[in-house]
Amino acid sequence: MEITAAMVKELRSQSGAGIMECKSALKETQGDVEDAITFLRKKGLAKADKKAGRQTAEGVIGSYIHQGSKIGVMLELNCETDFVANTPDFQGLVRDIAMHIAAARPRFSTREEVTEDVLAKEREIFAHQAKESGKPENIVEKIVTGKMEKFYEENCVLEQPFIKDTNITIGDLIKQKIALLGENINIGQFSRFEI
């Protein structure tokens, strides 16, 4: 199948990928734009995983003040170079994540940040709830494990479904931007304020 410039342009506008990447993705998927988007996303996420260990010593501190000025967020988002930190894509990511934090109220960036004290307390509460509902002892541990996964999803920003697109998590959103911008990106720290 012949890959036309219009097909490449359409894929490029939907994916944000480069011209040559779009052309090869369309060739790989015999001109199917939807399959090409999936192909590019998989390829981009694989690239993002390779960049995950690289140092992020640059970045920006961004903020978001919700309408009515009752909720605000300050966010440190890190990348590898100040060039990328000043791009519109990176600035948009900062704003999207800050807005997400304002709406979703995460307590931690990653599950590794959750302290042992918090984990022990949550496990104790979940175990007590399961026992009180009359569940047998051998089922209680499975219930606690399931509830702990839900706890991480609700309290760790990287595992929360993105408020603008609940089909992806904030971690997935960051990986997409890593693939697009070509640099590792990490959330440094954040603070959420509410009156």
CATH number at residue 25: 1.10.8.10
Q: What is the pLDDT of residue 10?
A: 81
Q: Does 162 lie in the same domain as 142? A: no
Q: Does 54 score more than 70 pLDDT?
A: no
Asked if the model's pLDDT at residue 95 lies above 70, the reply is yes
On whether both 167 and 78 belong to a single domain, the answer is yes
For the ranges 12-21, 100-109, 142-151, the lowest mean pLDDT is seen at 12-21
Mean pLDDT, the chain, whole residue set:
86
pLDDT band at 92 (very low <50, low <70, confident <90, very high): very high
Instruction: Read off the pLDDT of residues 174-183 as tens digits, 9 standing for 90 and up.
Output: 988 888 888 8
Whole-number pLDDT of residue 47: 54
Owning domain of residue 178: 58-109+156-194
What pLDDT score was predicted for residue 102? 95
Same domain, yes or no: 190 and 131:
no
Is a pLDDT exceeding 90 seen at residue 12? no
Q: Is the model more confident about 36 or about 111?
A: 111
Answer yes or no: do 64 and 42 share one domain.
no
Residue 163 Cα distances to 98, 112, 114, 129, 145, angstroms: 11, 23, 22, 29, 25
